[in-house]
Structure 1
Amino acid sequence: MDDLRSLREWRAEVPEPGQEWIIPERRRLLTRVRGRGRALRRRLLVVGALGAAAALAVATLWPQPPAPGPANTPSVVRLDSGVVLARAAEVAGRRRGPLVPLPTQWHYTKTLDKQPNSDTIKTHEQWMRYDGMQAANFGEDGELVVGPEGNPLDPGDDDLSPQQYDAKLRELPTDPRKLLAKVTGDRHWIEGAREEGVPKSAEPADARAYRVIMLYLSRYGTMPPRLEAAMFRALALIPGVRIEQGVSDAAGRSGLGVWREPVGDEPRRYDILDRDTYRYLGWRRVWLRDEFLFDDSEPAVRKGAVWSTALLSSVIVERPGQRG
């Protein structure tokens, strides 16, 4: 038997690796050659095999002990944020683009809310007309209440109607660096609302860019695919963005927890993405220390407390009361 011929025939049947494997591995090799990465002595490669999420599993894991924190903080399984966000951009860019809603259509959202110091999970359903002129929700008696004609938004608030959100959204460039510059310099997000008697705080530009991009990603009902892809690439350019797997929302769904180091004594906030589709699932705040209000001797919220939400639906419908 000609062993070399057999080997060549066997090799011909093996497909070439796809770009989802080549790109992350090329990045890993260059990082090692240039000496920029952390010590790779104890790193592991995680290999997944579930459809579109295969490349996510090429993310680098740090098998290090968790940082000191509350007992119910998710176990630290940190991923290479650059690899994860590059894969998220690829998946988002292949979505089918939604139609621009009519002013008389409605944006329906359904969320869950589990606050600290409570075992109750509350369900919230809301309909907001696309032009912002009416809102609807269920009253305490279970009946659907539709607000009167006229702008229901608080004029002193920094909130926007769905149509105004989407108008700002569609003005954003798809170049990641230009997108970052646009959201960072947008006066609307810099100024916001100011409560009487409360001094205005100066938010760092990186923190503002992260917050605004996550806000847009959470309103994915009318998101253009190329723009969503650009947002994930822009997130990768923001310093300090970290990603952990196994972070749960209020519905118990386990996803990818994206976060930045909180400022001062603020709780750590995870923005949670679906690990396959990279759609926004909700957020989770974890108190890393006791929080006291005023001069109270007992903490209002204890270390380890969790406040979580879950976004179950965000769609455009024809009328209030209709669910997507």
Structure 2
Amino acid sequence: MDDLRSLREWRAEVPEPGHEWIISGRRRLLTRIRGRGRTLGRRLLVVGALGATAALAVATLRPQPPAPGPESTPSVVRLDSSVVLARAAEVAGKRRSAQVPLPTQWHYTKTLDKQPNSDTIETHEHWMRYDGMQAASFGEDGELVVGPEGDPRDPGDDDLTPQQYDAKLRELPTDPRKLLVKVTGDRHWIVGAREEGVPKRAEPANARAFRVIMLYLSRYGTMPPRLEAAMYRALALIPGVQIEQGVTDAAGRSGLGIWLESAIDRSARDYVILDPGTYRYLGQQRVWLRDEFPPGRSEPAFRKGAVWSTTLLSSVIVDRPGQRG
């Protein structure tokens, strides 16, 4: 049974579902339907060691106790988001610029996915040609299957090719406030514009800005260092952004969990997890803060404390499908 598919169906019957869940559930559902295993990541750059991580954490991260109440997560430590994001911007701004891949090169990703009601961790490997014209993945028989990507794309589809992500990135300003205006007003990222069965509604500006920036940080091609730094500074301007230390991805790696307080959905918390030293994307985690019941049922579909998590293990540019870099 596909828990995410079932939850999406139940959510469609419930008024005012959380935007965070709709996006993550929709992305996983589309991935399953297309059978590609594409989920996360554009090219990640190799980052050198940054020195004494422990000393850096003491100097830049000021722990704060979690607020009392049913949404507290005592296993993690709340941090000062303004300090963390300022440090992330500083580190990102010092990265090396990367060369733009050739249209005929391929983007390889390897991801993990752990469903909330299962101990099984699924592994997905996927190759996409940089111009988006072909994709490849392993079939059930273990053979690599290379086929057309299925262009032309729906103009409202948020599943962009690597080149399309690069083009959008190059349109973004490096001034944090102007960047927020740009990503908030880009109609390409409007929630529910194409999703059949999901009611259309206005997404709060801070929620859209947070969602789009985190998507860029997790799925970029050749992110300019100054732009990446601006994205972290822009996140610091969004009301409700919180950061916790000790949030783990599907591979068990501990990182910084960034999440946005929601006035709509308080039944779960959705984290984007960053490496605490490099501030690179590691994965995602969703934690249920209370039991969630499907309509008309007495048994919860997800109990309080259930966790769904993902991991990006590899994201590199290669010369041909099947190559792992």
Under a length normalisation based on structure 2, what TM-score does the superposition of the two structures give? 0.78
Separation (CA, whole Å) in 2 of partners of 1:257 and 1:191: 23
Summarize deviations over 1:64-118 as a string: whole Å, max 9, x none: 5764358xx5623111111111111111111111111111111111110001100
Over 3 Å counting, the alpha-carbon distance change for 1:291 and 1:152 in structure 2 is farther
Pair 1:153–1:113, CA change in 2 (3 A): farther
Q: Which residue of 2 aligns with 1:68?
A: 70
The alpha carbon displacement at 1:151 in A equals 2.0
Cα gap change, 1:53/1:162 in structure 2, threshold over 3 Å: closer, same or farther?
A: farther
- Asked if structure 2 preserves the Cα contact closer than 8 Å seen for 1:134 and 1:151, the reply is no
Is the partner of 1:147 in helix, strand or coil?
strand
One-letter amino acid matched to 1:317: V
* Count of residue pairs brought into register by the alignment: 274
Deviates more, 1:123-132 or 1:60-69: 60-69
2:306 corresponds to: 305
Aligned equivalent of 1:91: 91
Query: Secondary structure of 1:83's match?
Result: helix
Whole-angstrom CA distance in 1 between matches of 2:192 and 2:104: 27
Distance verdict in 2 for CA 1:192–1:296, change over 3 Å? closer
Name which one, 1 or 2, has greater alpha-carbon Rg: 1
Q: Tell me whether 181-190 or 215-224 shows the greater mean CA deviation.
A: 215-224
Q: Which amino acid aligns with 1:226?
A: R
Could you give the per-residue CA deviations for residues 240-282 of structure 1, whole angstroms, max 9, x where no partner exists?
Answer: 1111111100000000011111332442001100000000000
Q: Give percent identity, aligned residues only.
A: 79
Counterpart code for 2:305: G
Pair 1:138 & 2:138 matched: yes
**What is the alpha-carbon distance in structure 1 between the residues aligned to residue 132 and residue 267 of structure 2?**
32
**Distance between the aligned counterparts of 1:149 and 1:302, measured in 2?**
38
From the superposition, tell whether residues 248 and 200 of structure 1 become closer, same or farther in structure 2 (CA, over 3 Å).
same
What is the identity, as a one-letter code, of the residue corresponding to 1:164?
Q
What are structure 2's unaligned runs of at least 5 residues? Answer: 1-49
| Equivalent residues in 2 for 1:1-324, closer than 5 Å | 50-51=51-52, 54-58=55-59, 59-63=61-65, 67-69=69-71, 73=73, 75-148=75-148, 150-151=150-151, 157-190=157-190, 193-262=193-262, 263-324=264-325
The one-letter amino acid paired with 1:274 is D
Q: State how far apart, in whole Å, the 2-side matches of 1:153 and 1:53 are.
A: 46
- Change in CA separation of 1:227 and 1:74 when aligned onto 2, cut-off 3 Å: farther
Instruction: Supply the RMSD in Å over aligned alpha carbons.
Output: 2.2
**Which structure has more RCO (C-alpha within 8 Å, separation ≥ 6)?**
2
Contact (CA 8 Å) 2:193, 2:200: kept in 1 or not? no
The alpha-carbon distance between structure 1 residues 68 and 197, as it changes in their structure 2 partners (threshold 3 A), is: closer
Q: Distance in 2 between the 1:191 and 1:243 partners?
A: 24
